[in-house]
Every structure is written in C-alpha cells, then in structure tokens.
C-alpha cells in the first residue's frame, strides 16, 4: 500500500479512497467477457453477461462483490480492514468506494489522506519516491499523467498527482 510510508511519517487519521478496478482484477474470464461485450455492443448486439450481471463494455458500476448490510460491498470492506491491519491501527478512519471500469488492466485509485502531523507536498513526494515498489510520475507542465495503457506493463504502484488542500 503506497500510503504506508506517508502513514509512518505523519500518521494518517482519515483516508477516503475510490478505486477504479480493471477487468484483470476479476481474472482472465472477465477480461475475455469485456472484449466479447465490446465486439457485441459495437455490432449492435445484446452483450453476453456471464461474469458480470450487467453490461461491462462502455459502462462502469459498483464493484461486483456482494453488498453487505452496512451498504458497503465486500471489496470496500476488505480495503478498510486490510488498511487497518497493515497499519496496525484500528482507529484510522477509512472510507472506500470500489468501481469496476471497462479497461483491461491497471487499477486506479483516488486517495485523499488527512494526517495527524503536517506533511507538505514536497516531503510527501520525496517519501514516496524513496519507497520500494513505488514510481512517481508527475508531469504537470505538459498536463500528461499515466493512463492504464501507459502503465499496463509496469509493476508496482504508479503515483502521478499530488494535491494539497487549497
């Protein structure tokens, strides 16, 4: 988890994360279904829905995990529980939303962190640039940020935008 080095430095007290999960996260059959649905929709046919209960091609929807009584789905609660376990911090407030998006590979996340101690953008960048398994790509000048197609052959976590609260 890329936020862990930041948590060690300034202690995260609240994390709001939205994940945008690719077909690859559901396995090879899901990737095949997305490809098949894409062809079917482009050909004007009804899409075949075996892995997913609804059209995936040209669509997005809440993660296909079961919805629990608290309104979160299993994938969202897994993210909450794993974060607390990894950080050994049952008090950290975590809110998660997990969305399936119609791309083959490379999940994306939007992560908003609130810290106990001050942490400026430059320090956060330096911490993450030195973290194992993390690549920071921040090309604001040309307004180009990595897309799933750009990073599909890369491993690890790619971080591409930092923003401090205005």
pLDDT in tens, the chain (166 residues): 789 999 999 999 999 999 999 999 999 999 999 999 999 999 999 999 999 999 999 999 998 888 999 999 999 999 999 999 999 999 999 999 999 999 999 999 999 999 999 999 899 999 999 999 998 988 888 888 888 888 888 888 887 777 777 6
4-159 homologous superfamily: Dihydrodipicolinate Reductase; domain 2 (3.30.360.10)
Q: Do 73 and 63 meet the contact criterion of CB atoms below 8 Å apart?
A: yes
Copy the structure tokens of residue 75.
């994938």
Alpha-carbon gap, residue 11 to 55, rounded angstroms: 41
Parallel, antiparallel or unpaired: strands 93-100 and 61-62 = antiparallel
């Amino acid at each position: 988890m890329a936020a862990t080095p930041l948590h060690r430095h300034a202690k995260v007290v609240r994390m709001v994360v939205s994940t945008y999960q690719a077909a690859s996260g559901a396995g090879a059959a899901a990737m095949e279904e997305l490809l098949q649905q894409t062809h079917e929709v482009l050909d004007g046919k009804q899409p075949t829905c075996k892995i997913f209960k609804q059209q995936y091609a040209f669509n997005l929807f809440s993660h296909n995990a079961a919805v629990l009584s608290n309104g979160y789905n299993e994938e969202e609660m897994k993210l909450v529980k794993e974060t607390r376990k990894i950080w050994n911090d049952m008090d950290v407030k975590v809110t998660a939303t997990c969305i399936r998006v119609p791309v083959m590979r490379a999940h994306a996340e939007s992560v908003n962190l609130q810290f106990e101690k001050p942490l400026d953008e430059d320090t956060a960048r330096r911490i993450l640039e030195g973290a194992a398994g993390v690549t920071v790509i921040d090309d604001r000048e040309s307004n180009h940020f990595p897309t799933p197609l750009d990073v599909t052959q890369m491993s690890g976590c790619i971080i591409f935008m930092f923003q401090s609260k205005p």
